[in-house]
Amino acid sequence: MSKHTVDYNASQDYKTYKLLGAVLVALGGIGVLGAFQADVYRSWHWLLIMFLFLVSIGLGNLFLIALEYLVNANWSTPIRRISESLSGVLVPAAGFALVMLAFGSHKLFHHWIEPPDAIVQGKVSYLNMQFFTVRVILCFGAWLLFRALFLKNSRAQDKDGDQVYTRNNVKYSTVFMLVFAISISVAAMDWIMSLDPHWFSTMFGVYYFAGTLVSAVSVLTLFTIHLREKGYLPGVSRDTYYSLGLMMFAFNTFWAYIAFSQFMLIWYANLPEETLWFIKRWEGGWMYVTCALMIFHFVLPFFLLLSRTVKTIPSFLAFMARWLILAHFLDLYWLVMPNYIPKEGASVFGLVDISFIVLAIGCIMLWFHKECSKANLMPIKDPKLQMGLEFKL
């Protein structure tokens, strides 16, 4: 068995990410400011979409870290640092959450902040600004706390290679999984479902979770492939690419399964208070967005990622990862935007809308670079690293 030499230090050069990230943030920021000048309500909704995307990436990668510890996976150990760095995106996401709480809440959640109607009146004990703020702070507090714990142990292990750090992280992951399951459902209900407070779906948390995983694995794949092709991750093999492609494929199918389950139950029961949410997304131009979501988030990626061979082709896998990232944006757009523009013809993307996507991608790059420079790019003394590098299908 061949031994891979692992020789890293923290000062490796990722200037590309820093420069490109800064340019994207600057461009996106200007675009966003312009968008706020043009249409305040639409811009707040787009900011919410961007925020949810950042949460998807950060929280999804935090979930992948915990999952690796919990199931004792070793194939993903060499690329765990990328997940750890990507989970840093939760920090700007928390910033955007505070901005929205402070300035945008009346633009986004006016349905239940302003004097509520009879139906919302019954939900007021949950849907009120004080409790909402508490929940947001608790969720972000828990996520950032567990992120700090995972990263502290993981980085400390780089110095002496003590196995205690791994065991501690396994314990934290056990608790985190419970916290994660509750907090992501709460976040999905608070930030998306409460935009339309008359409607409810008990599956909604799982739906957002499924989309989160698709986009998190896609971003992880994209960064892994890019760094590997630049030569930063020696020893990461095609078999790891295949596993990442498999996760993309599996979670994308899971997303479709959950999305359809949610739709079919509501469609079958045909209760007015539940169907109105889907009817809104089937009227006028939204019908095309819904069809596009079905085709571009499930049908085409399903068949494109089906073959075993294509999952080991880096360029194709990177292409599919970009595709699924944009598909997740489309998913969030479909979830959030009809609450602002339910009328025909308003579902078209504008140029200013792209600036929010640009800003999100810039944020991810900047924070990825920032976190990456703090530690080695691989957990060099992790006991599972050697097995991960020798991983074969």
Please, which residue, 15 or 392, has the CB nearer to another protein?
Answer: 392
72 binds another protein (CB under 8 A): no
Name the segment binding another protein (CB under 8 A); options: 105-113, 155-163, 200-208, 264-272.
264-272
- Residue of the chain from 5, 9, 309, 315 that contacts another protein (CB under 8 A): 309
C-alpha span between 5 and 65 (Å, rounded): 24
**Cβ neighbour number for residue 226 with a 10 Å cutoff:** 17
Minimum distance from residue 163 beta carbon to another protein (Å) = 24
C-beta of 41 vs 260, nearer to another protein: 260
In the DSSP assignment, the letter for residue 296 is I
Tell me phi and psi for residue 271, to 5 degrees.
-90, 135
- Smallest gap from Cβ 241 to another protein, in A, equals 14
- Nearer to another protein (CB atom), residue 175 or residue 264: 264
CA 144 to CA 323: how far, in whole Å? 29
- Assess 164 for contact with another protein (CB under 8 A): no
Q: How far is the CB of 257 from another protein (least distance, A)?
A: 9
> Stretches 141-149, 158-166, 306-314, 362-370: which one binds another protein (CB under 8 A)?
306-314
Q: Which of residues 175 and 393 has its CB atom nearest to another protein in the complex?
A: 393
Residue from 131, 260, 288, 302 that binds another protein (CB under 8 A)? 260
291 binds another protein (CB under 8 A): no
Query: What DSSP assignment string belongs to 8-49?
Result: --TT---HHHHHHHHHHHHHHHHHHHHHHHH-HHHHHHHHHH
392 binds another protein (CB under 8 A): yes
Structure tokens at 38: 């043009």
CA dist., res. 90 & res. 95, Å (int): 9
Determine, following the binding rule CB under 8 A, whether residue 125 of this chain makes contact with another protein: no
The correct pick among 7, 268, 271, 345 for binding another protein (CB under 8 A) is 268
H-only helix segments in the chain: 15-38, 40-71, 80-86, 90-99, 105-108, 110-113, 118-121, 129-160, 164-191, 204-229, 238-269, 272-280, 286-294, 300-304, 314-336, 351-372, 385-389
Q: Which of 167, 308, 343, 374 binds another protein (CB under 8 A)?
A: 308
For 391, phi and psi rounded to 5 degrees? Answer: -60, 125
Among 306, 349, 350, 374, binds another protein (CB under 8 A): 306
Q: Residue 295, interface with another protein (CB under 8 A)?
A: no
Q: Which is nearer to another protein, 91 or 250 (CB)?
A: 250
User: Which of residues 103, 267, 288, 349 is near another protein by CB under 8 A?
Assistant: 267
Q: Which of 16, 121, 174, 307 binds another protein (CB under 8 A)?
A: 307
Residue 271 touching another protein (CB under 8 A): no
Nearer to another protein, 41 or 288 (CB): 288
Q: Does 270 bind another protein (CB under 8 A)?
A: yes
Distance CA 173, CA 163 (A): 16
Question: Can residue 209 be called a binding residue for another protein (CB under 8 A)?
Answer: no
CA distances from 12 to 55, 227, 306 (A): 27, 12, 36
- Report, in Å, the least distance between residue 270 CB and another protein: 7
Distances (CA, A) of 2 to 316, 384, 386, 390: 28, 16, 10, 8
Nearer to another protein, 312 or 376 (CB): 312
Give the containing element (helix H, strand E) for 163: none
Distance CA 217, CA 259 (A): 18
Nearest partner of 78 among 315, 381, 393, judged by Cα: 381
List interacting residues with another protein (CB under 8 A).
1, 260, 263-264, 267-268, 270, 306-309, 391-393
